[in-house]
Structure 1
Amino acid sequence: MALDVSEDIAVTMFARRSVGCIVEETHVFTRHGDRWRILGGGGGPLDDRALEDRPAELPAGLRAAPGVDARVLALEGAGGIVDSHYKSWRPTRGRWINYGIVRVNLDVAHLLVDSREITVPWHGRCVVAWPGGRAQKLSILGTDGQRLGQISLNRSP
């Protein structure tokens, strides 16, 4: 369904059929040396229409992001995990890795995080990964390249 790679971290999101429903699974990976390691993940049920083409307007009732039209972008979830294998120059238990799940309408072509551009898939659901304890700025780019808005993805608790 979706993927985001930011230097040595990656988040994937898959849809799979389960008993009587479709399930979303999100996994967090880190690269140490030349190997990728899975740190963990989570998931839950998805709407039966989750993989349909994205609509011109998102349906009412989704979690809106402050400052952006709720018909254009909605927040669908977030998570985070500690990478205890991360080596730092200071004593630490590891680094925190965050991810956010957003859903966008047909007007959005790309999401921009720092200098990283994430192409929006046909279904409109995206994952965004970032390390550290700060919020992440996410710009929403239209099909014509114009910025449709910007939101702040907060760190996961």
Structure 2
Amino acid sequence: MDRTHHPGYTPATETRRLIAHGLPKVLPETLGGRHRFSPLSLYVGDRLAATAFARLDDVGLFWLDVWILSQSRGGRWTLRDGTSTAAGPADDLLAPSPAAALLNGHGRADGTVRSDINAGRWFPWPARWVAYGVVRLSAEVGAVRLEGRTIMVPEHGLQALAWAPSHKKETSVELLDQKGEPICALPLTEPGEGGTPAR
């Protein structure tokens, strides 16, 4: 998990750095040359955090990396799981998000991943699964609200999230406009799915 994809990018180090310092105010317009990777988004919840990075590998392919971390009682964040998905050019990831009309809605869940928290006994909740993933949001969405936390959405509209799915009700994230007013709720999982990919 803590592998180095190329010099300068070690997931555990970069995810902790992002949590400690927050998302940079200015992101590179594209990847290449000195900029081989870039943080995209950050979500910090109740002892769970999710980060997303755009990455250019050694053969020129672009990737979207999403990582989930848990926090110990002492406050240290530990990288627990992650996914890497092949992506288009870096401009597709770093470019400003499109309007809802072009995105066919205000947002979509591109798929979520579940992790078995019992296997490593690394999270003290009486639940079996935690889930994480990325949502793609339209230009009209200025923030999202999940489990009582409001997160400002980066200009590119990609937001990493992490949560403990409910087996009794649908897990959704609330989308807010640029003034903080509710737009709609975006389903992340169906009741009982426990974090299986959202369609």
Does the alignment reach a TM-score above 0.5? yes
Normalised to the residue count of structure 2, the TM-score between the two structures is: 0.65
- Higher share in strand: 1
Aligned residues: 144
Structure 1 residue aligned with 2:5 = none
| Structure 1 residue corresponding to 2:116, chosen from 60, 66, 82 | 82
Identical residues among aligned pairs (%): 24
| Structure 2 residue corresponding to 1:103, chosen from 116, 119, 136 | 136
Structure 2 residue aligned with 1:2 = 41
Q: Secondary structure in 2 aligned to 1:50? A: helix
User: For the aligned residues, what is the CA RMSD?
Assistant: 2.0
Q: Is the 8 A contact 2:63 2:86 kept in 1?
A: yes
Normalised to the residue count of structure 1, the TM-score between the two structures is: 0.81
- The question of 1:44 aligning with 2:85 is answered yes
Q: Deviations over 1:16-60 (max 9, x none)?
A: 101222101111111112222211111111121211111223646
- The question of 1:56 aligning with 2:88 is answered no
- The question of 1:113 aligning with 2:146 is answered yes
Structure 1 residue aligned with 2:160 = 127
- Higher share in helix: 2
Q: Compared with structure 1, are the counterparts of its residues 58 and 99 closer, same or farther at alpha carbon in structure 2 (3 Å cutoff)?
A: farther
| Structure 1 residue corresponding to 2:185, chosen from 147, 150, 153 | 150
Structure 1 letter corresponding to 2:47: D
Q: How does 1:22-41 map to 2 (within 5 A)?
A: 22-34=62-74, 35-41=76-82
Q: Compared with structure 1, are the counterparts of its residues 87 and 138 closer, same or farther at alpha carbon in structure 2 (3 Å cutoff)?
A: closer
Q: Which runs of 5+ in 2 are unaligned?
A: 1-39
Q: Which runs of 5+ in 1 are unaligned?
A: 61-69
Q: Is the 8 A contact 1:12 1:28 kept in 2?
A: yes
